[in-house]
Amino acid sequence: MNIVLNSYGTSLLRKDNTLVIYKNGSKHTIDPQKITSIIVYKGALISSDAILLAVENSIDIIFMDKMGKPKARVWSPKIGGVATIRRKQLNFTFSPQAVQWIKGILKEKIDNQIALLLSFYPEDQTTARQFDTIINRLSDYKTKIDSVKGDIISEVAASLRGWEGSANRQYFSGINLIIPEEYRFEERTQHPARDVFNAMLNYAYGILYGKIEAALIRAGIDPYIGILHREDYNRPVLSFDVIEKFRVWAEFVVVHLAMQKAINEDFYTIKEDGTYWLEQLGRRIIIQAMHDYLEDEVVYKNKKYKRSNLIDKYANDLAHLFLHYKTQKQ
């Protein structure tokens, strides 16, 4: 269970060995053993006693900004305190296998993009022809990424970023063809967003970033040691690498919300500089939709997993890869 404190004046306190949420004069008591994470937004309060109880129960606490990006977190010092994993992780980033790993991530990302577009394949023949062109180009970019040669990331990073960027532009041009007209956008914009669709997408990505960073920490991995993303000092750059594998989940949720016209002008504001910002109700819709999607069960390798658990599974598999890549190479 994830606790989300996103309403002004909401507070989370400790009472004996339980956590109590106080909101608008009501209270709700929760057993900490049933909680996996606590997400705190601006205007909400959490007591030091509640934080300590969360730490004792290995509950990840994430403080978010109004865009949904993680700004700070509190976790138990017992989580992921494996120096060997992090030393091997650093060695891995300079190995030829790191090149193959990031190429695999980017190729899987393009496969996911193609799958999402095909799931919304248009009936209109003119639009369908545009779709076919986009999908063919995405397949071509995947081949180009696969053909990039180099033994270390620094030799291939520029080429990989170039092909990935070109693929993204094609992909989002396809997204633009399927969403309602009022959600269409000129280009992909990050922070701040220049349209409502990008504001929704940025917020959904922020939620996903938090999940991935927390999973990496729990697995003993240092999220600040990136592979393709290395240059952003003091930022969890490995999360930026790993999210490429899972971005399609946020995109699928946001496309569906756009198709349902779930976010209207009452749920966001447009600032004087032309930037778009989700209001509390808009943020709440994104949070709930992402939570529902991540808690859905899917079949992976003949077993059922919640999508959120697949993130943890991948983080654990990645820690195993870091620990054993030399053995695999020999």
pLDDT of residue 230: 67
pLDDT attached to residue 64: 79
Give me the pLDDT at residue 328, please: 47
- Residue pLDDT, tens place only, 131-181: 999 999 999 999 999 999 999 999 999 999 999 999 999 999 999 999 999
Question: Who contacts 166 (Cβ-Cβ below 8 Å, separation ≥6)?
Answer: 141
Q: How far is residue 188's CA from residue 171's CA, in Å, rounded to a whole number?
A: 10
CATH 1.20.120.920 for domain 83-329, yes or no, is yes
Q: What is the pLDDT of residue 66?
A: 66
Q: Which secondary-structure segment (H or E) carries 298? A: strand 297-300
Instruction: Tell me the helix, strand and coil percentages in the chain, rounded to 5.
Output: 55, 15, 30
- pLDDT (0 to 100) of residue 33: 87
Pick from 82, 53, 41, 48: nearest CA to 206: 41
The answer to pTM > 0.85 is no
pLDDT digits (tens, 9 = 90+) for 279-321: 989 999 999 999 999 999 999 888 999 999 999 899 989 998 9
Give the rounded distance of the alpha carbon of 200 from its chain centre: 13
In the prediction, which pLDDT does 86 show?
83
pLDDT reported for residue 144: 97
- In this prediction, residue 329 carries a pLDDT of 45
CA distances from 224 to 17, 37, 127, 221 (A): 33, 20, 42, 9
- CATH class given for the domain over 2-74: alpha beta
Whose CA is closest to 271, among 194, 203, 181? Answer: 194
Domain spans of the chain?
2-74, 83-329
pLDDT of the residue at 102: 96
Stretches in the chain below the pLDDT threshold 50: 80-81, 327-330
Instruction: Yes or no: say if 300 and 292 are a contact pair by the CB < 8 Å rule.
Output: no
